[in-house]
Amino acid sequence: MIFVWNRAGRNNGLKQEAFAGQKNIYPVPPQAVLNVDVLLQEVIAQAKTLHIPVSEHIQPHVRINRRATGRFGACFADRRTGTFQIEISDVLLTARRQVCCQTLAHEVLHTCYGCQNHKKRWQQYAERMNCAYGYAIARTDSPERLGVENKRVVRYLVRCGGCGAEIPRARRSRLVEHPEEFRCAKCGGTLTVERVAEQKS
């Protein structure tokens, strides 16, 4: 849920974001922020026009996630109430409209029966949306492909000695600590790890 307000209740270019009971206020130019709740309803209508059986129980307010670095959207099913909550990363609020709609469409398709994963039925619905509306809905996306800010911090770079493939990692993991236990998925080569110098801003 996004509101633009000030202490007197007037619009002054501050955005308040209600997320999991927390209130975060920070300055943004109001004209640059997409109204994702309206876009969600548009995407749902698009899917229904194509006779894609999206759920009738999608929460009307899109939740904004300011901390997500590894995903642009998520669809959460509440088994108790039978409703779905769509969440998107805050980097999409200032993205191109088409990019935001594409991500919302990806998540809306997860509300269809048998589409909680990215298997055949979900892929068929995604292809219908892509053909009809010019989207490029895919199983995963990257900041470069979407043309948005990359929030992920790369601290380690795992490199293949055979083909030179690089695997960026933000956190320490078994792969980072013991690369000798793993092989490159592309060529089977041995892996090495280097720590990436953190950039000061």
DSSP secondary structure, 79-94, as one string? TTTTEEEEEEEGGGGG
Instruction: Encode pLDDT of 147-188 as tens digits.
Output: 776 666 678 889 999 998 888 887 788 999 999 999 988 898
Residue 171 · residue 139 · CB < 8 Å: no
Task: Write down the pLDDT at residue 32.
Answer: 53
Predicted pLDDT at 123: 96
pLDDT exceeds 50 at position 5: no
* Continuous segment of H or E residues that includes residue 48: helix 36-49
Q: What is this structure's pTM?
A: 0.62
pLDDT above 90 covers what percent of the chain? 51
Residue type for position 146 = L
CB 147 within 8 A of CB 95: yes
**What is the Cα–Cα distance from 89 to 123, expressed in whole angstroms?**
22
3-state secondary structure of 177: helix
Structure token pair of residue 91: 């980097």
Q: Is-contact 97 40, C-beta < 8 A?
A: no
Dihedral (Cα; 121, 45, 49, 127), 10-degree rounding: -30
> CA dihedral defined by 150, 152, 155, 161, rounded to 10 degrees?
-70
In this structure, whether the domain defined by 34-146 belongs to CATH 3.40.50.880 is answered with no
Sign of the four-CA dihedral 96, 5, 74, 49: negative
Beta carbons of 77 and 150 less than 8 angstroms apart: no
Give the angle 193-196-199 at the CA atoms, nearest 5°: 175
Query: Domain segments of the chain: what residues?
Result: 34-146, 156-195
Q: Residue 132: phi, psi to the nearest 5?
A: -75, -35
* Least confident piece of the model among 20-29, 41-50, 105-114, 169-178: 20-29
Give the whole-angstrom CA distance, residue 72 versus residue 146.
Answer: 10
| ∠ Cα 114 91 158 (to 5°) | 80
pLDDT in tens, 30-81: 445 689 999 999 999 999 999 999 999 999 999 998 887 778 899 999 999 9
